[in-house]
């Protein structure tokens, strides 16, 4: 009898626990967090804005080198800014006006320096080692901040406001040649957990 109850409990648990794959093309659920849809929407807005700006320069003949600088996460959530900057780097790389630097900034690849550190090392074929003076220094730096504000609603709930601001700085003279921002505002009912 005890075994039957155990089997029944196991069957019920198996029935309750289910994992579903989210259809990200048709996902319109709203969450209190700054979730992947907010990141995607922010990256899309910013990418369109960057690509539409003639002040950033760059052309198919000579693409501007962009160093992804620091994007600060000033929210109460654990959120890796690389999720955002990575998507922006996708858009910049797809464009023929820009290339993304792997020698500087958040998207730096340590292999770039390592490949040059072996110059003069007899273990390597000298002809295959990267020559001096081949790296391209960045023309632009992209940096920004994601900020969160919690605003008390009259009904006791909260509005959680997320602001993303990004700017592109022309490194030759330190002038900001592009800046844009976007918001995501979420309303949380009274008693709902928020941070």
User: Which residues are near another protein by CB under 8 A?
Assistant: 25, 28, 37, 40-41, 43-48, 51-52, 54, 58-60, 87-88, 90-91, 94-97
* Beta carbon of residue 41, minimum distance to another protein (angstroms, whole number): 6
CB of 96 to another protein, least distance (A): 5
- In order of 13, 106, 108, 189, the CA distances from 72 in angstroms are 42, 11, 17, 28
Taking the C-alpha atoms of residue 109 and residue 161, their distance in angstroms, rounded to an integer, is 34
Residue that the structure tokens 């220094």 belong to: 137
Which of 43/168 has CB closer to another protein? 43
In the bound state with another protein, the residue whose beta carbon lies nearer, of 68 and 88, is 88
Can you read off the two tokens belonging to residue 102?
A: 């792997």
CB of 71 to another protein, least distance (A): 15
Tokens of 41: 């929407």
User: Is the CB of 86 or the CB of 157 nearer to another protein?
Assistant: 86
Q: What are 65's strand-pairing partners?
A: 99
Supply the minimum distance, in Å, between the C-beta of residue 185 and another protein: 12
Q: How far apart are CA 69 and CA 125, in angstroms?
A: 35
């Amino acid at each position: 009898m005890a075994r039957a109850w155990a089997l029944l409990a196991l069957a019920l648990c198996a029935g309750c626990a289910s994992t579903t794959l989210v259809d990200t093309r048709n996902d319109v659920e709203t969450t209190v967090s700054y979730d992947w849809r907010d990141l995607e929407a922010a990256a899309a807005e910013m990418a369109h804005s960057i690509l539409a700006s003639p002040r950033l320069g760059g052309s198919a003949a000579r693409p501007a080198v962009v160093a992804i600088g620091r994007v600060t996460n000033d929210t109460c959530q654990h959120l890796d800014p690389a999720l955002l900057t990575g998507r922006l780097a996708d858009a910049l790389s797809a464009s023929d006006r820009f290339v993304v630097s792997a020698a500087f900034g958040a998207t730096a690849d340590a292999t770039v320096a390592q490949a040059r550190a072996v110059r003069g090392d007899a273990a390597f074929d000298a002809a295959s080692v990267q020559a001096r003076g081949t790296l391209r220094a960045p023309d632009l730096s992209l940096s920004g901040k994601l900020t969160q504000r919690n605003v008390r609603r009259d009904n006791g709930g909260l509005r959680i406001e997320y602001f993303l601001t990004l700017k592109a700085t022309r490194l030759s003279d330190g002038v900001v040649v592009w800046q844009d921002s976007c918001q995501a505002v979420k309303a949380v009912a009274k008693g709902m957990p928020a941070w």
